[in-house]
Protein backbone atom coordinates (compact mmCIF):
# COMPACT_ATOMS: atom_id res chain seq x y z
CA UNK A 1 0.00 0.00 0.00
CA UNK A 2 1.25 3.49 -0.88
CA UNK A 3 0.20 7.04 -0.03
CA UNK A 4 0.05 10.49 -1.61
CA UNK A 5 -1.35 13.92 -0.85
CA UNK A 6 -3.19 16.51 -2.93
CA UNK A 7 -3.20 20.15 -1.89
CA UNK A 8 -6.23 21.85 -3.47
CA UNK A 9 -5.53 25.21 -5.04
CA UNK A 10 -8.71 27.14 -4.43
CA UNK A 11 -12.02 25.97 -2.93
CA UNK A 12 -12.57 22.22 -2.65
CA UNK A 13 -14.71 19.96 -0.49
CA UNK A 14 -14.12 16.22 -0.44
CA UNK A 15 -17.50 15.83 1.24
CA UNK A 16 -19.17 17.48 -1.78
CA UNK A 17 -17.26 15.15 -4.08
CA UNK A 18 -18.43 12.18 -2.00
CA UNK A 19 -22.04 13.28 -2.43
CA UNK A 20 -21.60 13.41 -6.21
CA UNK A 21 -19.98 9.96 -6.23
CA UNK A 22 -22.95 8.57 -4.31
CA UNK A 23 -25.34 9.88 -6.99
CA UNK A 24 -23.18 9.14 -10.06
CA UNK A 25 -24.12 5.70 -11.48
CA UNK A 26 -20.70 4.84 -12.99
CA UNK A 27 -19.08 5.38 -9.57
CA UNK A 28 -21.74 4.55 -7.02
CA UNK A 29 -20.99 0.83 -7.11
CA UNK A 30 -18.11 2.07 -4.94
CA UNK A 31 -19.92 4.03 -2.20
CA UNK A 32 -18.24 6.29 0.32
CA UNK A 33 -17.49 4.72 3.70
CA UNK A 34 -17.82 7.15 6.60
CA UNK A 35 -15.40 10.02 6.18
CA UNK A 36 -13.63 8.24 3.31
CA UNK A 37 -14.17 8.34 -0.43
CA UNK A 38 -13.25 5.09 -2.14
CA UNK A 39 -12.51 4.84 -5.83
CA UNK A 40 -11.66 1.86 -7.99
CA UNK A 41 -10.29 2.34 -11.49
CA UNK A 42 -7.90 1.02 -14.09
CA UNK A 43 -4.77 3.11 -14.20
CA UNK A 44 -4.09 5.23 -17.24
CA UNK A 45 -1.99 3.52 -19.92
CA UNK A 46 -0.89 0.43 -17.98
CA UNK A 47 -4.49 -0.43 -16.99
CA UNK A 48 -3.62 -1.95 -13.63
CA UNK A 49 -6.67 -2.22 -11.31
CA UNK A 50 -6.21 0.29 -8.48
CA UNK A 51 -8.13 0.95 -5.26
CA UNK A 52 -7.90 4.34 -3.57
CA UNK A 53 -9.15 5.64 -0.24
CA UNK A 54 -9.30 9.42 0.27
CA UNK A 55 -9.64 11.50 3.41
CA UNK A 56 -9.59 15.22 4.12
CA UNK A 57 -7.10 16.16 6.80
CA UNK A 58 -7.01 19.89 7.47
CA UNK A 59 -7.94 20.79 3.90
CA UNK A 60 -5.40 18.43 2.35
CA UNK A 61 -6.56 15.28 0.56
CA UNK A 62 -4.68 12.23 1.83
CA UNK A 63 -4.81 9.15 -0.37
CA UNK A 64 -3.96 5.53 0.31
CA UNK A 65 -3.95 3.05 -2.55
CA UNK A 66 -3.16 -0.49 -3.62
CA UNK A 67 -2.74 -2.22 -6.95
CA UNK A 68 0.19 -0.28 -8.43
CA UNK A 69 3.56 1.10 -7.41
CA UNK A 70 3.21 4.17 -9.65
CA UNK A 71 2.51 6.78 -7.02
CA UNK A 72 2.60 9.81 -9.32
CA UNK A 73 0.39 8.16 -11.93
CA UNK A 74 -2.25 7.29 -9.33
CA UNK A 75 -2.01 10.74 -7.77
CA UNK A 76 -2.43 12.43 -11.17
CA UNK A 77 -5.46 10.32 -12.10
CA UNK A 78 -7.21 10.99 -8.79
CA UNK A 79 -6.48 14.70 -9.22
CA UNK A 80 -8.11 14.62 -12.65
CA UNK A 81 -11.16 12.68 -11.41
CA UNK A 82 -11.76 15.28 -8.68
CA UNK A 83 -10.72 18.28 -10.85
CA UNK A 84 -7.85 18.96 -8.45
CA UNK A 85 -5.42 19.23 -11.34
CA UNK A 86 -6.81 22.73 -11.95
CA UNK A 87 -5.86 25.84 -10.02
CA UNK A 88 -9.23 27.21 -8.89
CA UNK A 89 -7.90 30.04 -6.75
CA UNK A 90 -9.74 32.60 -8.87
CA UNK A 91 -12.94 30.57 -9.22
CA UNK A 92 -14.83 32.67 -6.60
CA UNK A 93 -14.30 35.70 -8.84
CA UNK A 94 -16.89 34.22 -11.21
CA UNK A 95 -19.63 34.96 -8.67
CA UNK A 96 -18.59 38.59 -8.63
CA UNK A 97 -19.03 38.73 -12.39
CA UNK A 98 -22.40 36.97 -12.15
CA UNK A 99 -23.89 37.63 -8.68
CA UNK A 100 -26.75 35.18 -9.35
CA UNK A 101 -24.20 32.39 -8.92
CA UNK A 102 -23.18 33.49 -5.43
CA UNK A 103 -26.00 31.70 -3.54
CA UNK A 104 -25.31 28.46 -5.40
CA UNK A 105 -21.58 28.64 -4.83
CA UNK A 106 -22.29 29.20 -1.15
CA UNK A 107 -24.84 26.37 -0.93
CA UNK A 108 -22.44 23.98 -2.68
CA UNK A 109 -19.21 25.39 -1.27
CA UNK A 110 -16.13 23.59 -2.50
CA UNK A 111 -17.92 21.69 -5.28
CA UNK A 112 -15.80 20.88 -8.31
CA UNK A 113 -16.63 18.65 -11.28
CA UNK A 114 -16.31 14.96 -10.46
CA UNK A 115 -15.29 13.15 -13.63
CA UNK A 116 -15.37 9.62 -14.91
CA UNK A 117 -12.31 7.71 -13.79
CA UNK A 118 -11.05 7.72 -17.40
CA UNK A 119 -12.18 8.34 -20.98
CA UNK A 120 -12.24 4.54 -21.32
CA UNK A 121 -14.85 4.16 -18.58
CA UNK A 122 -16.76 7.19 -19.89
CA UNK A 123 -17.03 5.57 -23.31
CA UNK A 124 -18.12 2.26 -21.78
CA UNK A 125 -20.83 4.01 -19.76
CA UNK A 126 -21.94 5.81 -22.93
CA UNK A 127 -22.45 2.48 -24.70
CA UNK A 128 -24.20 0.78 -21.78
CA UNK A 129 -26.53 3.70 -21.00
CA UNK A 130 -27.76 4.41 -24.52
CA UNK A 131 -31.56 4.29 -24.98
CA UNK A 132 -32.32 2.87 -21.53
CA UNK A 133 -33.24 4.40 -18.18
CA UNK A 134 -30.39 5.50 -15.94
CA UNK A 135 -31.38 3.01 -13.24
CA UNK A 136 -31.27 0.14 -15.71
CA UNK A 137 -27.91 1.33 -17.04
CA UNK A 138 -26.52 1.50 -13.49
CA UNK A 139 -27.66 -2.06 -12.84
CA UNK A 140 -26.05 -3.38 -16.03
CA UNK A 141 -22.87 -1.43 -15.41
CA UNK A 142 -22.65 -2.80 -11.89
CA UNK A 143 -23.20 -6.31 -13.25
CA UNK A 144 -20.26 -5.84 -15.64
CA UNK A 145 -18.11 -4.84 -12.68
CA UNK A 146 -19.25 -7.82 -10.62
CA UNK A 147 -18.99 -10.35 -13.45
CA UNK A 148 -15.84 -9.29 -15.28
CA UNK A 149 -14.23 -6.66 -13.07
CA UNK A 150 -11.47 -6.85 -10.50
CA UNK A 151 -11.25 -6.68 -6.73
CA UNK A 152 -8.43 -4.96 -4.87
CA UNK A 153 -7.92 -5.22 -1.13
CA UNK A 154 -7.30 -1.93 0.66
CA UNK A 155 -7.23 -1.49 4.43
CA UNK A 156 -8.98 -4.83 4.85
CA UNK A 157 -11.83 -3.81 2.53
CA UNK A 158 -12.63 -5.07 -0.95
CA UNK A 159 -12.83 -2.39 -3.64
CA UNK A 160 -14.47 -3.19 -6.97
CA UNK A 161 -12.88 -2.07 -10.24
CA UNK A 162 -14.34 -1.94 -13.75
CA UNK A 163 -12.71 -4.51 -16.09
CA UNK A 164 -9.40 -3.53 -17.58
CA UNK A 165 -9.69 -3.35 -21.38
CA UNK A 166 -7.68 -6.54 -21.88
CA UNK A 167 -10.35 -8.48 -20.01
CA UNK A 168 -13.28 -6.75 -21.71
CA UNK A 169 -11.86 -7.55 -25.14
CA UNK A 170 -11.88 -11.23 -24.22
CA UNK A 171 -15.31 -11.45 -22.64
CA UNK A 172 -18.38 -9.31 -22.06
CA UNK A 173 -21.34 -11.63 -21.59
CA UNK A 174 -23.73 -9.97 -19.16
CA UNK A 175 -27.41 -11.00 -18.96
CA UNK A 176 -29.65 -8.27 -20.31
CA UNK A 177 -26.87 -6.53 -22.25
CA UNK A 178 -27.72 -6.62 -25.98
CA UNK A 179 -25.25 -8.27 -28.33
CA UNK A 180 -24.64 -5.00 -30.19
CA UNK A 181 -23.61 -3.30 -26.94
CA UNK A 182 -21.30 -6.19 -26.07
CA UNK A 183 -19.60 -5.83 -29.44
CA UNK A 184 -19.27 -2.09 -29.00
CA UNK A 185 -17.78 -2.50 -25.52
CA UNK A 186 -15.17 -4.88 -26.90
CA UNK A 187 -14.33 -2.35 -29.62
CA UNK A 188 -14.06 0.44 -27.03
CA UNK A 189 -11.71 -1.75 -24.99
CA UNK A 190 -9.60 -2.48 -28.08
CA UNK A 191 -9.39 1.25 -28.82
CA UNK A 192 -8.25 1.88 -25.25
CA UNK A 193 -5.46 -0.67 -25.69
CA UNK A 194 -4.38 1.17 -28.84
CA UNK A 195 -4.16 4.47 -26.95
CA UNK A 196 -7.17 6.12 -28.58
CA UNK A 197 -8.72 6.88 -25.17
CA UNK A 198 -5.68 8.26 -23.39
CA UNK A 199 -6.75 11.31 -21.38
CA UNK A 200 -3.61 13.38 -21.85
CA UNK A 201 -3.52 12.70 -25.58
CA UNK A 202 -7.15 13.76 -25.97
CA UNK A 203 -6.62 16.88 -23.87
CA UNK A 204 -3.69 17.85 -26.08
CA UNK A 205 -5.87 17.49 -29.19
CA UNK A 206 -8.20 20.19 -27.87
CA UNK A 207 -11.90 21.04 -27.87
CA UNK A 208 -12.52 20.44 -31.57
CA UNK A 209 -10.19 17.64 -32.62
CA UNK A 210 -10.61 15.38 -29.59
CA UNK A 211 -14.41 14.95 -29.96
CA UNK A 212 -13.95 14.51 -33.69
CA UNK A 213 -11.53 11.62 -33.09
CA UNK A 214 -13.88 10.05 -30.57
CA UNK A 215 -16.63 9.91 -33.19
CA UNK A 216 -14.68 7.03 -34.74
CA UNK A 217 -15.57 4.81 -31.78
CA UNK A 218 -18.50 2.43 -32.38
CA UNK A 219 -21.69 3.59 -30.73
CA UNK A 220 -20.30 7.06 -29.94
CA UNK A 221 -22.17 9.89 -31.62
CA UNK A 222 -21.70 13.63 -31.27
CA UNK A 223 -23.46 13.73 -27.89
CA UNK A 224 -21.11 11.28 -26.22
CA UNK A 225 -18.00 12.23 -28.20
CA UNK A 226 -18.27 15.53 -26.36
CA UNK A 227 -19.22 13.82 -23.10
CA UNK A 228 -16.26 11.43 -23.13
CA UNK A 229 -13.93 14.33 -23.80
CA UNK A 230 -15.39 16.73 -21.25
CA UNK A 231 -16.14 14.36 -18.39
CA UNK A 232 -13.54 11.71 -19.14
CA UNK A 233 -10.59 14.06 -19.57
CA UNK A 234 -11.55 16.65 -16.96
CA UNK A 235 -11.79 19.72 -19.21
CA UNK A 236 -12.16 22.97 -17.28
CA UNK A 237 -13.32 25.69 -19.64
CA UNK A 238 -16.21 24.49 -21.82
CA UNK A 239 -19.92 25.16 -21.34
CA UNK A 240 -21.70 22.48 -23.38
CA UNK A 241 -24.65 23.44 -25.54
CA UNK A 242 -27.08 20.70 -24.46
CA UNK A 243 -30.62 20.74 -23.06
CA UNK A 244 -30.10 20.22 -19.33
CA UNK A 245 -27.16 22.60 -19.05
CA UNK A 246 -28.95 25.30 -21.03
CA UNK A 247 -32.14 24.77 -19.01
CA UNK A 248 -30.18 25.11 -15.76
CA UNK A 249 -28.64 28.36 -16.99
CA UNK A 250 -32.11 29.56 -17.93
CA UNK A 251 -33.40 28.69 -14.45
CA UNK A 252 -30.66 30.83 -12.94
CA UNK A 253 -31.39 33.69 -15.36
CA UNK A 254 -35.06 33.54 -16.46
CA UNK A 255 -35.65 35.14 -19.83
CA UNK A 256 -32.01 35.06 -20.90
CA UNK A 257 -31.19 34.77 -24.58
CA UNK A 258 -29.17 36.10 -27.49
CA UNK A 259 -26.34 38.37 -26.49
CA UNK A 260 -27.18 37.90 -22.80
CA UNK A 261 -26.40 34.18 -23.05
CA UNK A 262 -23.08 34.95 -24.70
CA UNK A 263 -22.29 37.54 -22.05
CA UNK A 264 -23.11 35.16 -19.21
CA UNK A 265 -21.04 32.28 -20.51
CA UNK A 266 -18.09 34.51 -21.32
CA UNK A 267 -18.18 35.79 -17.74
CA UNK A 268 -17.57 32.25 -16.50
CA UNK A 269 -14.19 31.92 -18.19
CA UNK A 270 -11.90 30.13 -17.43
CA UNK A 271 -14.24 27.96 -15.33
CA UNK A 272 -17.15 27.36 -17.67
CA UNK A 273 -17.30 23.63 -16.91
CA UNK A 274 -17.09 24.31 -13.17
CA UNK A 275 -20.14 26.57 -13.46
CA UNK A 276 -21.96 24.13 -15.72
CA UNK A 277 -21.36 21.31 -13.23
CA UNK A 278 -22.54 23.50 -10.35
CA UNK A 279 -25.75 24.33 -12.22
CA UNK A 280 -26.36 20.68 -13.07
CA UNK A 281 -25.87 19.52 -9.48
CA UNK A 282 -28.09 22.33 -8.17
CA UNK A 283 -30.78 21.27 -10.62
CA UNK A 284 -30.45 17.61 -9.67
CA UNK A 285 -30.79 18.47 -5.96
CA UNK A 286 -33.88 20.60 -6.62
CA UNK A 287 -32.21 23.90 -5.78
CA UNK A 288 -32.81 25.13 -9.33
CA UNK A 289 -36.25 24.60 -10.86
CA UNK A 290 -35.36 23.25 -14.27
CA UNK A 291 -37.75 22.26 -17.05
CA UNK A 292 -35.63 20.66 -19.77
CA UNK A 293 -38.47 19.84 -22.19
CA UNK A 294 -38.13 23.05 -24.20
CA UNK A 295 -34.65 24.51 -23.63
CA UNK A 296 -33.55 27.66 -25.40
CA UNK A 297 -30.75 26.86 -27.86
CA UNK A 298 -27.67 28.94 -27.32
CA UNK A 299 -26.75 31.13 -30.29
CA UNK A 300 -23.12 31.01 -29.23
CA UNK A 301 -20.18 28.74 -29.68
CA UNK A 302 -19.52 27.11 -26.33
CA UNK A 303 -16.18 25.50 -27.11
CA UNK A 304 -13.21 27.09 -28.79
CA UNK A 305 -14.55 27.07 -32.33
CA UNK A 306 -17.33 24.49 -32.27
CA UNK A 307 -20.67 23.82 -30.64
CA UNK A 308 -20.35 21.12 -28.03
CA UNK A 309 -22.76 18.25 -27.50
CA UNK A 310 -23.82 17.07 -24.08
CA UNK A 311 -22.77 15.01 -21.15
CA UNK A 312 -25.11 13.59 -18.55
> 98-145 pLDDT, tens per residue?
999 999 999 999 999 999 999 999 999 999 999 999 999 999 999 999
Tell me how far apart the alpha carbons of residues 62 and 69 are, in angstroms, rounded to a whole number.
17
| pLDDT given at position 258 | 59
Does the structure show a pLDDT above 50 at 295? no
Helices 243-252 and 259-267, packing angle to 10 deg: 90
Which of 21-35, 108-122, 277-291 is modeled with the greatest confidence?
108-122
Condensed to tens digits (0 to 9), the pLDDT of residues 210-260 reads 999 999 999 999 999 999 999 999 999 999 988 889 889 999 998 776 567
**158 exposed, middle or buried (CB, 10 Å; 0-12, 13-18, 19+)?**
exposed
pLDDT band of 304, cuts 50, 70, 90? very low
Domains for the chain: give ranges and CATH numbers.
2-86 (3.30.310)
Candidate ranges 27-36, 150-159, 186-195; pick with highest mean pLDDT: 186-195
- pTM for this predicted structure: 0.91
CA distance 308 to 221: 12
Amino acid sequence: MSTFTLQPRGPFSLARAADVVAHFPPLRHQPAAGAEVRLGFVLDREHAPVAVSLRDVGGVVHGRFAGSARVEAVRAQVARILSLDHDATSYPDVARRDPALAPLMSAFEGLRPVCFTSPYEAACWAVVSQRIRKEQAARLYGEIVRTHGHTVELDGQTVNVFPRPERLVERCDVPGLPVVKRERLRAIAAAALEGALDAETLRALGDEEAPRRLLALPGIGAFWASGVYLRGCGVRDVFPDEPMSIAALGALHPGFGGGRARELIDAYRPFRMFVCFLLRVAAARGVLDVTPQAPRPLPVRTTSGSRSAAWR
